[in-house]
Amino acid sequence: MTVPPDHPDRHKTVWGVKILGWLCILLGAVLLAGGVWLIVLGGSWYYGLSGLGLFLTGLLLNRYRTEAVGLYLLVWIGTVGWAWWEVGNDWWAQVPRLVAPSIILVLVLLCTPALSRHASKRLAGSS
């Protein structure tokens, strides 16, 4: 079933993707700036790399690109690996490291249908 172009639910989905995209850009820029400073001081590269990944995910979300889902999945897997490396199997210590990235993962995954719709429209328009 397709949603007509002027249907109100269609606009809610589009704005949801845009808002999440801008949130990822904002959070990614903050993490990237702090991460670069931490790298200069000789600290962990995690924050710089995850900030860059989150920033790029936001850019891709704002362009309705499905690659945003795969990229953020890589960031999330890296975060899980980093959390495991930092605190091992201490689950309570992993909670503050994993809750926010996991919430963002769920939100990005919820955008997948809207991103797929735009991808199929882009493919239909190019043929």
Q: For residue range 25-64, list pLDDT tens digits in order.
A: 999 999 999 999 999 999 999 999 999 999 999 999 999 9
Residue 4 scores a pLDDT above 70: no
CB–CB of 59/91 below 8 Å?
no
Percent of the chain with pLDDT over 70: 89
In a domain, 90, yes or no: yes
In a domain, 8, yes or no: no
CB–CB of 95/55 below 8 Å?
no
Residue 58 lies in domain = 29-63
Structure-model confidence comparison of residues 46 and 117, the more confident one: 46
Q: How far apart, in whole angstroms, are the C-alpha atoms of residue 32 and residue 122?
A: 31
**What pLDDT sits at residue 111?**
93
> Once rounded to an integer, what is the mean pLDDT over residues 61-80?
96
- The number of domains in the chain is 2
In a domain, 123, yes or no: no
Q: Report helix angle 46-62 to 91-110, nearest 10.
A: 20
Q: Are residues 113 and 76 in the same domain?
A: yes
Residue 1 per-residue DSSP state: -
**What's the chain's average pLDDT?**
90
Among 63, 84, 105, the domain boundary falls at 63
Residue 87 scores a pLDDT above 90: yes
Residue 12 scores a pLDDT above 80: no
Q: How far apart, in whole angstroms, are the C-alpha atoms of residue 45 and residue 36?
A: 8
**Distances, alpha carbon 58 to alpha carbons 10, 21, 34, 93, 94, in Å:** 20, 4, 18, 28, 25
Q: Name the pLDDT band for 121 (thresholds 50, 70, 90).
A: confident
Residue 85 scores a pLDDT above 80: yes
Q: How far apart, in whole angstroms, are the C-alpha atoms of residue 106 and residue 100?
A: 10
Q: How far apart, in whole angstroms, are the C-alpha atoms of residue 20 and residue 17?
A: 5
